[in-house]
């Protein structure tokens, strides 16, 4: 994927086969991967103890009222139960979090309260999920595979992103059995055309 200048995090997991690495964005966050098997398409998270974490503050200078765009490629397996996708959270203190809900494979968002996106993951298929969190408008928009699937009146949560960033783990005991290809966070709102362009130029890897 062509790097977006405003990225504050970019981890292409298909390029990172060690247990720790520096993210590919300009900030160089230290990322640690635990028990997630490397594959040419990314990392396989086992739903038991697999996680990726970067503990440095991801959003230096980007406050909770600002706009940011979050994107990740994932493949959800046929296990049941809850599974965290991506979050900034310290224990029970949630800044923001996206997770998959039980057997419906429904994608949900939580900051101060839970919001249902109404989108169900397709089991065993790679999908490109993008969310725009607009604190100024108290709005969250969610895109799946380049298309808008939800617009929700929800806030960003408290704080400026100084909590722990986690992929595949909610930092409070819940893991997910999924594969993740890459994850990135941008400190501005991407347009629908930009989101669709990223989807079209990266999906070849996840066929």
Torsion region of 178: left, alpha or beta (phi above 0 gives left; psi -120 to 50 gives alpha): beta
Q: Is the pLDDT of residue 61 over 80?
A: no
pLDDT band at 133 (very low <50, low <70, confident <90, very high): confident
On whether the CB atoms of residues 39 and 14 are closer than 8 A, the answer is: yes
How is residue 161 written in tokens?
């992103």
2-20, pLDDT tens digit by residue? 455 578 889 999 998 889 9
On whether the CB atoms of residues 36 and 53 are closer than 8 A, the answer is: no
Please tell me whether the overall predicted TM-score, pTM, comes out greater than 0.85 for this model: yes
């Amino acid at each position: 994927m062509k790097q977006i200048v405003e990225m504050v995090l970019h981890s292409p997991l298909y390029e990172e086969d060690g247990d720790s690495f520096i993210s590919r964005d300009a900030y160089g966050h230290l990322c640690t991967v635990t028990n997630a098997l490397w594959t040419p398409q990314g990392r396989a998270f086992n739903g038991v103890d697999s996680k990726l974490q970067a503990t440095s503050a991801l959003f230096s200078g980007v406050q909770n009222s600002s706009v940011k765009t979050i994107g990740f490629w994932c493949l959800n397996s046929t296990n049941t139960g809850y599974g965290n996708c991506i979050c900034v959270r310290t224990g029970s203190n949630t800044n923001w979090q996206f997770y998959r809900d039980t057997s419906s494979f429904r994608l949900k968002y939580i900051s101060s309260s839970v919001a249902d996106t109404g989108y169900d993951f397709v089991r065993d298929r790679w999908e490109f999920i993008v969310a725009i969190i607009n604190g100024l408008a108290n709005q969250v928009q969610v895109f799946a595979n380049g298309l808008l699937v939800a617009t929700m009146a929800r806030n960003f949560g408290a704080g400026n992103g100084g909590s722990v960033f986690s992929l595949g783990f909610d930092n409070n005991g819940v893991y997910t059995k999924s594969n993740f290809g890459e994850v990135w966070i941008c400190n501005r709102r991407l347009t629908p055309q930009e989101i669709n362009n990223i989807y079209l130029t990266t999906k070849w890897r996840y066929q």
